[in-house]
Amino acid sequence: MCVVCMLFTLLSIFSFPVITKAEDGLGVSYSAFFSQNGWGIWYMDNSNVVSEGNYISALRLGLYNQPQELNGTIRYQVNVSGLGWLDEVENGAETGKADFIQEPLESVRVKLSGNLEEAYDIYTKVLQNNETWTNWVKNGEDAGTAGVGTHITGIRITIRAKGSEAPNENDEKTDEKKKEQKNLAKRSIDPNKPMIALTFDDGPSEHTGIILDVLEKYNARATFFVIGNNLKEKNIPVVQRAISLGNEIGNHTVSHPDLTQKSTSVVSSQIDGVEKALREITGTKPNLLRPPYGSYNRQVLNQLSKKGYACILWSVDTLDWKTKSADSTTKTVLEKAKDGDIVLMHDSQKSSALAMERIVKGLQDKGYQLVTVSELAKQRGQLNAGKAYSSFRR
Ligand code: ZN
Q: How confident is the model at residue 20 (pLDDT cuts 50, 70, 90)?
A: very low
272 alpha carbon to ligand 1 midpoint, in Å? 17
120 alpha carbon to ligand 1 midpoint, in Å? 39
Residue 21 is predicted with a pLDDT of 34
14 alpha carbon to ligand 1 midpoint, in Å? 16
Helices 264-282 and 298-307 cross at an angle (nearest 10°) of: 40
Look at 38 and 19; give whichever has higher pLDDT.
Answer: 38
CB atoms within 10 A of CB 121: 20
Quick one: which H or E segment has residue 10?
helix 3-11
Q: For residues 290 and 203, give the distance between their C-alpha atoms in angstroms, rounded to a whole number.
A: 13
Would you call 181 helix, strand, or coil by DSSP? helix
| pLDDT tens column, 115-144 | 999 999 999 999 998 888 999 999 999 999
241 alpha carbon to ligand 1 midpoint, in Å? 21
Whether 1 has a pLDDT exceeding 60, the answer reads no
Which residues are CB-neighbours of 38 under 8 A, at least 6 positions away?
98, 100, 378
Residue 184 is predicted with a pLDDT of 56
Per the residue annotation, which of 45, 201, 258, 347 is the catalytic one?
201
Q: Please, are residues 91 and 63 in contact by the beta-carbon 8 Å criterion?
A: yes
* For ion ligand 1, residues whose CB falls within 5 Å: 5, 201-202, 292
Helices 236-244 and 264-282 cross at an angle (nearest 10°) of: 70
| pLDDT tens column, 244-263 | 899 999 999 999 999 999 99
Q: For residues 252 and 373, give the distance between their C-alpha atoms in angstroms, rounded to a whole number.
A: 14
291 alpha carbon to ligand 1 midpoint, in Å? 8
Look at 68 and 353; give whichever has higher pLDDT.
Answer: 353
Whether 371 has a pLDDT exceeding 90, the answer reads yes
Is 346 annotated in the active site?
yes
Q: How confident is the model at residue 289 (pLDDT cuts 50, 70, 90)?
A: very high
| pLDDT tens column, 186-195 | 568 899 999 9
CB atoms within 10 A of CB 243: 22
Buried (b) or exposed (e) across 9-42, using 16+ Cβ within 10 A?
A: eeebeeebbebebbeeebbbbbbbbbbeebbbbb
Is 151 annotated in the active site?
no
16 alpha carbon to ligand 1 midpoint, in Å? 17
| CA nearest neighbour of 279 among 5, 77, 65 | 65
Handedness of CA 43, 30, 283, 289 (dihedral sign): negative
Handedness of CA 367, 373, 378, 383 (dihedral sign): positive
| pLDDT tens column, 335-349 | 999 999 999 999 999
